[in-house]
Structure 1
Amino acid sequence: MSDAIQHECGLAYIRLLKPLSHYHVKYGTAVYGLNKLYLLMEKQHNRGQDGAGIASVKLDVAAGHQNMHRLRVSGQQAIGKIFQNINEEVGELEKMYPNILQHPGFLKGYMRFAGEILLGHLRYGTQGKNNIEFCHPFIKPHINPTRNLAMAGNFNLVNTDELFNMLDSHPTGTMRESDLGAMIETIHYYLCMADDTNPESLNIEGVLKQATTHFDGGYVFSGLIGNGDSFVMRDPNGIRPCYYYVSDEVVVAASERAAIMTAFNVTKEQVIKLAPGHAIIISADGTFKDVEILAPRQLTACSFERIYFSRGSDPEIYRERMQLGRNLADTVLKSLDYHLKHTIVSFIPNTAETAFYGLIKGLEDYLKDITLQRIYARKDNITEDEMRELVYRRVRIEKIAIKDAKLRTFITEDASRNEMVQHVYDITYGTVERGVDTLVIIDDSIVRGTTLKESIIKMLDRLGPKRIIVVSSAPQIRYPDCYGIDMSRMGDFIAFQAAVGLLADTGREHILTDAYNRCKEAEANGGLKEENFVKAVYEPFTAEEISNKIARMLKHKDVNTEVDVIYQSIEGLYNACPNDRGDWYFTGNYPTKGGNRVANKAFMNYMEQKEGRGY
């Protein structure tokens, strides 16, 4: 994704089912759990670079001693800083108590995070606030262990105000502004009610059923309770991803399957996808169960996980990204009028590499078919040189652009800033025959188009190609997301800008006013979430018309080369990602009613020239 956006957080949960001494004997370390937590978090570091946090709970701690601990760090390299802090703590303990690492029971008593239940979180700040108070986990402290709650998750809720009003809760600051603040307040409320009813046996399943019926959004969250119970739960539409692994030694959950496979050296078949609406609940005595909390709804798993967010080391995601690229081959060939001889194919940025391979395979399949047809047609009189030329023909591939070290603009005036933006990437000179070759560049998605216009296309134009074709492995992003990705301002999307431009070009600006008036009327009647009125903005135009308008918008006045844009079709998306068809940012078909309200509110903000997200 050439346009940087904030997105999916990452979750890592570990429950050790044996005493620390077991891991010390078998694996040579009493901090086995912390080592694995570090691996799980590092293998998901792509999911959050604004901060990180961990929490732990120790079992069977003597009365009066703290058994729940938390550590959070904001900013870059947060994972490393957290575990450096832990290492420094161990070093200090070793100075006071030499060989403490060889005595698990002693270590547990003195080391804060030497617990049996561990929770890690990687943060991308969708609110745009990256100070430490917004880093997960959050804690609701209480002197009663069964009311002591730590929580973290990967989610966005679109009804936080309703939750606070329902609870008659009026928090200030961080809790009020955070989705997790609303979530932890709600679950803690029902946790306290359950504790009052049956303090001897806490019914976590019942607590979750009561609390989550009020949640509107996409979520995976985990909670640790001071009495030793813990849980991980996924939303009923399966919007956010979650996987888990269970053995006789551990229960593990994470946002990405490949992270579990790598950290615990297990196969794909051993890692289970948590079903929508389900939770895994692990009691203080280690009893495990996977239970349905909310009835599953239509599966709308986020397709952006497959296109971009999740790491491509997962076998299914790798194949799906390859297919996304392969699906674009026919459209690219038609755009080239099937002339590949003077065509060079490359990718920007690196996250588009797998889709690039798929596109190349699709183009090579075409070349193979043409070769067979021509050889067969001339089998009686083809020469050796002609045969050789056909057999050895390949799609031309070049490493056209390389992302340079992160450049910082030290002068704030617009002219200087724009000049610096142009040099985010370096180009490989001498790869293009000027005025002859066409450049086909695949990106995994185009959100705002700013980097394409101000940097990439201007940079490629310096090579002097006859034509530049920008290919997106994702469909046009037309609507805001409200389930975990920071894409909430309607005016940011270049597809929306293109539609608005086409309305102006064709004298139909009244469609914007009509849609706005319908939004205002619905808001007054309390029905803003019943229908997505923004769809009307796109209805007069085909996807190709919008793509052509986007191409004209992306061509800077200083660019001489012809520019075209090709997007993945919705059908191509479904073909490549048949099991993860959450497509609301492309189609406007939100899985919950709260999504309609977010789209309408974002549109109203645009029309009223207001900043801020739509929820």
Structure 2
Amino acid sequence: MSDQIKHECGIALIRLLKPLSYYKEKYGTWKYGLNKLYLLMEKQHNRGQDGAGAVCVKDHLAPGSTYINRYRSIQQNPIKDIFDRINKPLKKAIRKGTDVNDCEWAYQNYPFAGELYLGHLRYGTFGKNSIEFVHPVMRQNNWRSRNLVLAGNFNLTNTDELFEVLVDLGQHPKAYTDTVTALEKVGHFLDEENQLLFRQYKNEGYQNNEISPLIESNLDIRNILERATKDWDGGYAMAGLIGHGDAFVVRDPWGIRPAHYYANDEIVVVASERPVIQTAMNVQWNEVHEIEPGEALIIKKKGEVKHEMVRPPHKRTSCSFERIYFSRGSDRNIYNERKELGRLISPAILKAVDYDFINTVFSFIPNTSETAFYGMLEGVRSYLTNWKIDELKKKNGSLTNADIKKIISFEPRVEKIAIKDVKLRTFIADDASRDDLVAHVYDVTYGVIKNGVDTLVVIDDSIVRGTTLKNSILRILGRLHPKKIIVVSSAPQIRYPDCYGIDMAQLDKFIAFNAAITLLKETGRESVIDEVYQKCKEQQNLPKEEMVNYVREIYRPFTAEQISAKISELLKPDECLSEVEIVYQSVENLHKACPNDTGDWYFTGNYPTPGGNRVVNSSFINYIEGKHKRAY
């Protein structure tokens, strides 16, 4: 993606089902679980680079020993920083001559030798990049079964409502964020479950020191999660550890945020992405399973793994942006879907170049659009195959060997034109230098474009703001002096804010929205803007369940092609002498390519939860009133 947007987060949970000595004997090290945690986090570093954290829980230490240990970091390379700190006590012990391979010594003395691990990678969509915002977050207590650790990939749209619920319960939350709200909500019902069981066993005549193990064995995690998530509006994949050794991962009932797991008789592994588990555990695609929408994967202290329905599942609307861009392309299905996105848009591309293969060069904007590029080429070559058949049929019997060779060897011109200079970004510091340096993030291959003759086609995953496209890519491509530059987006026009985990909350940041507003003004329809504003204001204080997405009316007077044409005009740099055209994927083709992940609210405004309509409503009001802030 040419536009850099912050998005998502990544989770990694590991539950060892055997004693550490088992892994030492079978795999040569008791660090088997810790090593897997490192792999899972490193393989998901694409999901979060603002910060990272890791927690280890030991489930059978004697009282007086620290059984929950946590490290968090917001350093430039947070995963490395965390594991350097995790490994530091081992290096110190080795210098003292300690046998650090001894499992019992490690369990008693090394903070990260345990049965339960939880890792998190953060991309901040809200709040400063402070250590306080980095997961895992903790709620501590002297009772092991009341200690709670949470880490998630989520955004809740109704934090204000949930905050008031906590206040009504008598709590005094320390911050007004969805992370604190979720932690305290789960923690409240964890406390209630503990108290309920305590009273039950007390009435049955058990002594206090006998009650704690009974509570730990019989905590109803499903009931806790069912009550805690009852009013949550948003997308979430939430992982949690409880101090005595229970663990869980719960997924939103719409399946917006992803979560996958693998389990055998040695280990349970959960991560945000399937191929990450495949790589870390060396298992096949069909051995890794998806946690279903509304479901909780619950791992009890004794190793029992259960699937419990926590929320009634709604119509599945998994995030299609996961398929287009966010997730690793090494997943079998995602790879094929991205190729299909490229293939499906090839007819529109061929129309845009007027089927002139001789004077057209096909390329892509690195790096994540490469798979869609292969699909686009498949579509182009499929057209050419049919053309070759027709040519051979038309001239049957009159072709020389040279003519036949010329026809069957004809191929689209393919070149690697744009080259991303990844290292350059690390040097962008002061504002005065930023714009000039951003313009040089991409370099180009010179000498393959015929000046004023060739059309250059480059495909991108999606175009959100268009800033990098205008300030960098199109300027640099223009230096090659093509007759025309066609930028292809394998995703449809992004028109509406996201509120389920991606940093796309302000309408005026979207080039499609700005194009529609410009068209309304140019065509004398400014009254539409005022009417939408009034409708949004009138429903501002309604319950979110009664709100309507009136922002759709901003786009209604125009076709997708008209908006694309205006986007082309807005993004063309003044110094670029080439004609510029932007070609977008259609929503219909998106659903053909990604049939199982139909979440398309950023393209269509069809939000799966009521909170989405409230967010788009607030975002438009903020735009009109000049308030540059998040809409939820």
TM-score of the pair, normalised by structure 1: 0.97
Mapped pair 1:333 → 2:332: no
Map 1:80-159 onto structure 2 (within 5 A). Answer: 80-96=80-96, 98-101=98-101, 103-159=102-158
Selected match of 2:329 from 312, 320, 328: 312
Q: Which aligned pairs between 1:366-515 and structure 2 lie closer than 5 A?
A: 366-404=383-421, 405-407=423-425, 408-409=427-428, 412-413=431-432, 417-515=434-532
User: Any conservation in 2 of the 1:2–1:446 contact (CA below 8 Å)?
Assistant: yes
Give the Å deviation of 1:284: 1.1
State how far apart, in whole Å, the 1-side matches of 2:434 and 2:97 are. Answer: 55
- The answer on whether the counterparts of 2:135 and 2:152 sit within 8 Å (CA) in structure 1 is yes
Distance 2:429 2:184 in 1: 43
Instruction: Report the equivalent of 1:23.
Output: 23
CA contact (8 A) 1:40 1:254 kept: yes
Q: Give the drift of 1:524.
A: 3.5
Report the AA paired with residue 80 of structure 2.
G
Partner in structure 2 of residue 567 of structure 1: 584
State the shift of 1:418 in Å. Answer: 3.1
Tell me if structure 2 keeps the 8 A contact 1:529–1:594.
no
Aligned to 1:228: 245
1:48 and 2:48 correspond:
yes
Give per-residue Cα distances to partners, 1:484-503, cap 9 Å, x unaligned. 10000110000000000000
Distance 2:467 2:474 in 1: 10
1:553 aligns with 2:570: yes
Q: How far apart, in 1, do the equivalents of 2:270 and 2:337 lie? A: 23
- CA separation in 1, counterparts of 2:244 and 2:321? 37
What is the distance in 2 between the residues matched to 1:128 and 1:398?
A: 42
**How many angstroms apart in 2 are the aligned matches of 1:604 and 1:75?**
37
Quickly say closer, same or farther: Cα 1:527–1:320, change in 2 above 3 A: closer
Call closer, same or farther: CA 1:63–1:45 in 2, change over 3 Å: same
Q: What letter corresponds to residue 536 of structure 1 in structure 2?
A: E
Report the alpha carbon displacement of residue 385 of structure 1 after superposing the two structures with TM.
Answer: 1.6
Decide which of 243, 249, 272 is 2:289's aligned counterpart. Answer: 272
Aligned to 1:166: 165
Match of 1:32 in 2: 32
Residue 232 of structure 2 corresponds to 215
- Cα distance in 1 for partners of 2:19, 2:545 equals 53
2:23 is equivalent to residue 6 of structure 1: no
CA pair 410-284 structure 1, distance change in 2 beyond 3 A: closer
The 3-state SS of whatever aligns with 2:250 is: strand
Q: Which range is displaced more, 148-157 or 85-94? A: 85-94
Which string of whole-angstrom CA distances, capped at 9 and with x for unpartnered residues, describes residues 62-94 of structure 1?
A: 112121111100132111111111221211122
Tell me, in whole angstroms, the C-alpha distance in 1 between the residues paired with 2:546 and 2:502: 19
Give unmatched runs, 5+ long, in structure 2: 199-214
CA–CA separation in structure 2 for the residues paired with 1:359 and 1:53: 39
For the residues of structure 2 that align with 1:234 and 1:165, how far apart are their CA atoms? Answer: 23
- Partner secondary structure for residue 393 of structure 1: coil
TM-score (norm 2): 0.95
Measured after TM superposition, the shift of residue 60 of structure 1 is 1.1
Q: CA deviation at 1:573?
A: 0.2
Unaligned 5+ segments in structure 1 are none
Q: Which amino acid aligns with 2:48?
A: G
- Report the AA paired with residue 304 of structure 1: F
Distance 1:525 1:576, change over 3 A: closer
Using the TM superposition, give the Cα deviation of residue 170 of structure 1 relative to its aligned residue in structure 2, in angstroms: 6.4
Instruction: Call closer, same or farther: CA 1:527–1:191 in 2, change over 3 Å.
Output: closer
Aligned-partner Cα distance in 2 for 1:409–1:104: 47
CA deviation profile, 1:306-341 (whole Å, cap 9, x unmatched) = 000000010000000000000111000111111111
How many correspondences in the alignment? 610
Counterpart of 1:69 in structure 2 is 69
Q: Which amino acid aligns with 2:389?
A: L
Taking only aligned residues, the RMSD between alpha carbons, in angstroms, comes to: 1.3
User: Residue by residue, what CA displacement relative to the aligned partner does 1:30-59 show, whole Å, maximum 9, x if unpaired?
Assistant: 111000000011111100011100011101
Residue identity matched to 2:158? N
- Shift of residue 349 of structure 1? 2.5
Letter in 1 for 2:96: M
**What is the correspondence of 1:342-357 to structure 2 with a 5 Å cutoff?**
342-357=359-374
Distance verdict in 2 for CA 1:171–1:549, change over 3 Å: farther
8 A Cα contact 2:540 2:617, kept in partner: no
Which residue in the other structure is 2:630 paired with?
Answer: 613
Q: Given the superposition, is the C-alpha separation of residues 525 and 163 from structure 1 closer, same or farther in structure 2, using an over 3 Å criterion?
A: closer
Question: For 1:180 and 1:411, how far apart are their aligned partners in 2?
Answer: 32
- The 3-state SS of whatever aligns with 1:502 is helix
Deviation at 1:161, TM superposition (A): 1.6
| CA-CA distance at 1:410 after TM superposition | 5.8
Question: 8 Å contact 2:235–2:257 — kept in the other structure?
Answer: yes
